[in-house]
Structure 1
C-alpha cells in the first residue's frame, strides 16, 4: 500500500506518516521499484495505534513509550497503567486550568455592559493583568 492509501486507511495525512517515520515512531517504509513508500498491514496497525494514542492526547514521547511497551510482551501491565494514570493527572490539571480561564473570562464578560461606551472591563482586565488565573 502506498502512502496515499495508507493515509486514507488510517485517517492520517501523508505528511504525518512521513513525520512519524522521521522520528522513528514508525519503521522506515520499504520502497517499490519506482521509489514509492510501501506500507504493510503491520505498519497500518502501528499507525492506527499511534493515531488512537495521539487522539487520547498522549505526547509523541509518551506514544514512543507506549509503542515500546506494546511490543514488549514481557512488560508488566502496571507500567502501562502508570503511564496512563500520569496522563490522566496531566489532563485533569489542564481541565482545571481551562475551567479557571473560562470562569475568569465569563466574570469579565458579565461585568462588561456591551454597549456603545468605550469603557470595557475585559480590556481593563487584560491591561492590568487582573484577567487571568494565576496572574500577579
Structure 2
C-alpha cells in the first residue's frame, strides 16, 4: 500500500508517518520501481501501535522504548510497568492542574452576568486587572481541595 492508504487506514497524517520513519519509530518501507513507498502489514501494525500509544498521550521517547519491547518479546516487563507508572504520574499531575484551571475559570465566570456591555463586564475587568499585575480572585493560588 502507498503512504496515503496507510494514512487512511490508521488515521495518521502522511507527514507524521514520514517523521516516524526519519526518527526510527517506523521502519522505512521498500521503494517500488516508480519510487513510491510500498508499505505492508508490518507497517500498518506498528503504526497502529504507535498511534494508540500517542492516543494515551505517551511521549515519543516512551513509545520508542515500548517498541523496543515489542521487538524483544523475551525482555522482562518490569520496565514496561515503570513506564506506564510514570505516565500515570504525568496524567494525574495534568488532571490536578486542569482541576485548578477549572476552578479559576469558574471563579472568573461569577464576575459577570449576561446583559451587560463589554465596558462593564466583570470578567473583562478581572482579566484586565490581572494583565496589569493586580490581584484578582481568579488568580488566587488553588486550594488543596482537589
TM-score normalised by structure 1 residue count: 0.88
2:41 corresponds to 1:37: no
Q: Residue 29 of structure 1 contacts residue 39 of structure 1 at CA under 8 Å; is this kept in 2?
A: yes
Structure 1's unaligned 5+ residue stretches are none
SS, match of residue 81 in structure 2? helix
CA distance in 1, matches of 2:91, 2:140: 18
CA distance in 1, matches of 2:85, 2:129: 36
Instruction: Tell me the equivalent position of 2:68.
Output: 68
CA distance in 2, matches of 1:125, 1:69: 52
2:127 corresponds to 1:126: no
Structure 2's unaligned 5+ residue stretches are none
CA distance in 2, matches of 1:27, 1:68: 13
- Give the superposition deviation at 1:126: 2.9
Shift in alpha-carbon separation, 1:86–1:33, aligned structure 2, 3 A: same
Structure 1 residues 87-127: Cα deviation after superposition (integer angstroms, max 9, x where no partner):
01100000110110110111111123452352525314532
Equivalences, count? 135
CA distance in 2, matches of 1:64, 1:129: 45
CA distance in 2, matches of 1:112, 1:69: 54
Structure 1 residues 11-55: Cα deviation after superposition (integer angstroms, max 9, x where no partner):
111111111101111111110000001111111100000000000
Shift in alpha-carbon separation, 1:48–1:129, aligned structure 2, 3 A: farther
CA distance in 1, matches of 2:135, 2:37: 52
Instruction: Tell me the equivalent position of 1:53.
Output: 53
Q: CA RMSD in A?
A: 2.0
